Amino acid sequence: MDAFLAVLMSQRRIELSPGRWTVVVWIVALLTGCRPSHPNRIVIGSKNFTEQLILGELFAQQIERKTNLAVERRFYLAGTYICHQAMLAGRIDLYPEYTGTALTAVLKEKPEGDRAQIYARVKTEYGNRFGLGVGPTLGFDDTFAIEVRGEDARRLHLADMSQAAAYTPQWRAGFGYEFMERPDGYRGWIAAYGLRFAEPPRIMDLGLLDRALKDKQVDLIAGNMTDGRIAALDLAVLEDDRHYFPPYEAVPILRQDVLARHPELGAVFDELSGKISDNDMRQLNYAVDGEHLDVKQVVRSFIERKGL
């Protein structure tokens, strides 16, 4: 546990209050306490937000439908760093990730290149450095969405981030923890656009950001492009006119030794390749977040509708 915690702390560069220490210790205990996957069981992880839960459940249901393998679900494993370390430790066998996140947050490389180039770099480096395979892209790009209230965008005639820069000194911002810490997040973004805010950004859970914006607790947030509540809450996404953010195409990350033992998993993910559009993902997210439907049923209905 001490070695794992040291890695976690060095990557996230955080100072934790006693309450946060409790959360970290709980997560570490969860990861170190669960057993490595068995020969005929696939352990699927996910990060701790709705889209990841949906994708993890989609992977699980497809594996259950298409193979004879048993599936163990270990969702809500906090953020990118926890999931990556769980993969390296053999505590989970696969989880959903995004190419831009893998490139910048895990590989620590600059977000340069088009979608195909970034995917190729991530696939090559994950194999060489970590012994991890990168499956085919699922079809959607969940890039960061810089959002303001729709009423403000219309009133101020705002379409892109450069236009918003004139108003941010009077605005309060709210961001998730990863956005504040990641190399493709806050620091580089404000430098690229020359931004400053009325006060230090509020850091909150991703699931609370859009409601905080709607309720005027903050005036600008960094959400996700596939969030189904953007339209439902009348929020406006500002165009990244300086192309700061790299593509964040969703992909399965799979341990190569697991794929070698169970090559049938390759066919499962090949069938999912390109099957989820940006709009599909928004609808799935909204069904869970906005309509409060059961995630298993939402995924089951999607599989049936797509004929997977």
Beta carbons of 59 and 252 less than 8 angstroms apart: yes
| 156: Cα within 13 Å, side-chain hemisphere | 19
Q: How far is CA 67 from CA 27, 40, 87, 140, in A?
A: 30, 10, 22, 25
Q: Which residue has the tokens 């609370």?
A: 208
Residues 155, 183 share a domain: yes
Residue count (the chain): 308
Domain identity same for 162 and 191 = yes
Q: 270 Cβ partners below 8 Å, 6+ apart? A: 136
Instruction: Answer whether residue 84 is part of any domain.
Output: yes
Residue at 211: amino acid letter: R
The residues with which 133 forms a beta bridge, in sequence order, are 254
The CATH number covering residue 85 comes to 3.40.190.10
How many independent structural domains does the chain possess? 2
Q: What is the pLDDT of residue 181?
A: 86
Last residue of a domain, one of 238, 267, 283: 238
Residue 177 has a pLDDT of 87
Domain coverage including residue 179: 144-238
Tell me the mean pLDDT per 10 residues along the chain, length 308.
37 37 42 52 93 97 96 92 95 97 92 92 97 97 95 97 97 93 89 96 89 96 92 94 94 96 96 96 93 96 95
Same domain flag for 192 and 110: no
Edge to edge, what strands does the sheet with 202-203 contain? 202-203, 173-175, 220-224, 144-149, 235-238
Using DSSP, state whether 293 is helix, strand or coil.
coil
Asked if residue 115 and residue 71 are part of one domain, the reply reads: yes
User: Is the same domain home to 202 and 265?
Assistant: no
**Is the residue at 13 inside a domain?**
no
Q: What is the pTM of this model?
A: 0.80
CATH number at residue 193: 3.40.190.120
Residue 224 lies in a domain: yes
